[in-house]
Amino acid sequence: MKYTVGRLLAMAAAATSLVAVGFSPSAEARPGAGGGVHAGGGGHARGGGDAGANRQVNNSRADVRSRDVRSNSVNSVNANRNVNINSSRNVNVNVDNHGGCCGWDNDYHPVATAAAVTATVAVTSAVVGSMVRSVPAGCVPVNYGGMVYQQCGSSWYMPQGGQYVVVNPPY
Amino acid sequence: MARLPALILLVVLVTACSSTPPPVTQSPASPTTAPGAPAATTTSAATTPPDAKLVDPAVIQALKAMGGYLQTLKQYAVAIDLSGERVLADGEKLQHTATANLQVSSPNKLRAQMRSARSQRELFYDGKTVTLYQPQQKYYSQVEFAETNAVLVERLRQRYGVEVPSADLFLWGTSAAPLDNIQSAMNAGQDFIGGKLCDHYAIRQGDFDWQIWIAVGDRPLPCKLVITNRADEARPQSITVYRWNLNPKFGSSLFTFTPPKDAKEAKFVPLKTQQSQ
């Protein structure tokens, strides 16, 4: 609970900058891509070596609303009965506890959930929701909730279509 | 003290978030029903817990037969197609798809490939070590483990928040899949799933309505599973279709992960909030 409050405090703090900043969906925030989606790419048909199955999608044009998720379908009638009853009732559980709450198919990190709510400029250096081609030196890979993040000091990154998206700390 | 304004804001946020209507309760009142006794009867029937008449014992028997059969399988491979839904802030739903391949050797060997447009992950379990590998980024995470597949899927979920695809396959037919808290169970006829004739059953269990299609004949395998989450009034639904192979050939190294040369380890971090049982 403490940690949940802590996370929400961070969100709330970020919310104070909401009015000043307005929405900053990832497409605009992408460095070097000039706002264009295909331009700097790297997301499309990367390498193309390993059969068509390795083609990657580019979600940078997806509306931030598409990630403002309040609940999910569940995949098991036995394994996570209790978990999902709770998580689906409280959107904040989803935000805070991604991977802990959701199914194996649910690999949508709620990065823009915060963006939609707070139009985030995080208190940390990197802008949540923005895309970068590589992470800074000295980052540590961490598996939390089944997803691998790059923890770079107080900033967290997640791989997405051959690039990295800045996300809220998962814990 | 700086926390106070933030907390107030937090309260506002939480209130806003949770302002979505509470879960729909059972049985919409039917206004056409004549007032008085019949209506009252309907209401009480819907609100009282397990009514024997609502639970067809033949359905429970069919679930037991399926679970029992699954537990007898020594080796199998199953291809899984899943459609899931996310409910957005305003109740609009988005559907997504994912696929998985499970290769299972009882009681303690498992390989799962999970694929979506957004990520690829592989799970290896050889009875000693469980590894989650992300082939695109070449990161792997490992922990030692020495129990059955059924225990593994529960522990992974509780401790690390990792869901194994179709975990029910390991749990049906065990005490982890109790059949005594079902409020309603009915036979819904038959259907063809992937060309196979399957019996269709519909079950209500707490906040979940689920439908299962079970193959007709002496191999009662699940053909399809639909789970409707009633905890949200938008009722997000998952649809899982299974394609079975009961005679797979598994190489000796299938379940053991050997890191490629340039792979790096990403340490597993246990969930900060432990999941319920």
pLDDT in tens, B240-250: 999 999 999 99
**Number of structural domains in chain A:** 1
Residue of A nearest to B143 (CA): A143
Q: Is the ipTM of this complex over 0.90?
A: no
Measure in Å the smallest separation between the Cα of B251 and chain A Cα atoms.
22
Residues A70, B88: C-beta atoms closer than 8 Å:
yes
CATH architecture assignment, domain B52-265? Clam (2.50)
Q: How far apart are CA B276 and CA B83, in angstroms?
A: 25
Chain B, 102 to 121: residues with Cβ < 8 Å from chain A are: 114-121
Counting residues of chain A whose pLDDT is more than 90, the rounded percentage is 9
**Integer CA distances (angstroms), B105 to B77, B151, B172, B174, B224, in order:** 9, 14, 16, 17, 22
Residues B121, A160: C-beta atoms closer than 8 Å:
no
- Which residues, including other chains, have CB under 8 Å from residue B203's CB and lie 6 or more apart? A77, B59, B63, B182, B184, B185, B186, B209, B210, B211, B212
> Which of A19, A10, A1 lies closest to A168, judged by CA?
A10
The pTM for the full model equals 0.72
Residue B245 belongs to what H/E stretch? Answer: strand B237-245
Is the per-residue pLDDT at B140 higher than 50?
Answer: yes
Which of A74, A107, A146 is closest, CB to CB, to B118? Answer: A107
Chain B, 44 to 73: residues with Cβ < 8 Å from chain A are: none
pLDDT digits (tens, 9 = 90+) for A31-84: 333 333 333 333 333 333 333 455 667 777 888 888 788 899 999 998 654 433
Amino acid at B177: A
Q: What confidence tier does A160 reach under pLDDT thresholds 50, 70, 90?
A: confident
Residue of B nearest to A146 (CA): B162
Both tokens of B138, joined, read: 């070449």
Q: What value does the CA radius of gyration of chain B take, rounded to a whole number of Å?
A: 22
**3-class SS at B97?**
strand
A156 is in which domain, residue-wise?
Answer: 2-167
Is the per-residue pLDDT at B187 higher than 70?
Answer: yes
Is the per-residue pLDDT at B198 higher than 80?
Answer: yes
Both tokens of B193, joined, read: 């799933």
Q: What confidence tier does A161 reach under pLDDT thresholds 50, 70, 90?
A: low
Instruction: Report yes or no: A66 at the B interface, CB cutoff 8 Å.
Output: yes
Backbone angles phi, psi at B64, to 5 degrees: -65, -40
Chain A, 92 to 111: residues with Cβ < 8 Å from chain B are: 92, 96-97, 99-108
Q: What confidence tier does B274 reach under pLDDT thresholds 50, 70, 90?
A: low
Q: What confidence tier does A147 reach under pLDDT thresholds 50, 70, 90?
A: confident
Instruction: Report yes or no: B229 at the A interface, CB cutoff 8 Å.
Output: yes
pLDDT digits (tens, 9 = 90+) for A79-130: 654 433 333 333 222 333 333 356 888 776 554 343 333 444 444 467 887 8
How deeply is B34 buried, as exposed, middle or buried, from its count of CB atoms within 10 A (0-12, 13-18, 19+)?
Answer: exposed
- The pLDDT of residue A19 is 37
Counting residues of chain B whose pLDDT is more than 70, the rounded percentage is 80
- Which residues, including other chains, have CB under 8 Å from residue B242's CB and lie 6 or more apart? B78, B79, B80, B166, B221, B222, B223, B224, B225
Instruction: Report yes or no: A115 at the B interface, CB cutoff 8 Å.
Output: no
Task: Between A110 and A13, name the one with better pLDDT.
Answer: A110
- Is the Cβ–Cβ distance between B149 and B125 less than 8 Å? yes
- Is the Cβ–Cβ distance between B55 and B202 less than 8 Å? no
Residues B167, A75: C-beta atoms closer than 8 Å:
yes
Residues A146, B132: C-beta atoms closer than 8 Å:
yes
- Is the Cβ–Cβ distance between A123 and A102 less than 8 Å? no
pLDDT digits (tens, 9 = 90+) for B37-46: 444 444 444 4
Tell me the pLDDT of chain B averaged across its residues.
85
Instruction: Report yes or no: B122 at the A interface, CB cutoff 8 Å.
Output: no
Probe site for chain A from B272, B274, B276, B277 (most A CB atoms < 10 A): B272
Q: How far apart are CA B17 and CA A167, in angstroms?
A: 20
- The pLDDT of residue B36 is 41
Measure in Å the smallest separation between the Cα of B239 and chain A Cα atoms.
8
pLDDT digits (tens, 9 = 90+) for A15-29: 443 333 333 333 333
Measure in Å the smallest separation between the Cα of A32 and chain B Cα atoms.
22
How deeply is A5 buried, as exposed, middle or buried, from its count of CB atoms within 10 A (0-12, 13-18, 19+)?
Answer: middle
Per DSSP, B55 falls in state B
- The pLDDT of residue A80 is 52
Amino acid at B113: Q
Is the per-residue pLDDT at B215 higher than 70?
Answer: yes
- In chain A, what is the greatest distance between 2 CA atoms, to the nearest angstrom? 48
Q: What confidence tier does B238 reach under pLDDT thresholds 50, 70, 90?
A: very high
Residues from chain A that touch B14, judged by Cβ atoms under 8 A, are 8, 92
Alpha helix (H) residue ranges in chain B: 3-17, 37-47, 57-72, 149-155, 168-171
Domain boundaries, chain B: 52-265
- In chain B, what is the greatest distance between 2 CA atoms, to the nearest angstrom? 75
Instruction: Report yes or no: B17 at the A interface, CB cutoff 8 Å.
Output: yes
- The pLDDT of residue A69 is 87
Residues B276, A83: C-beta atoms closer than 8 Å:
yes
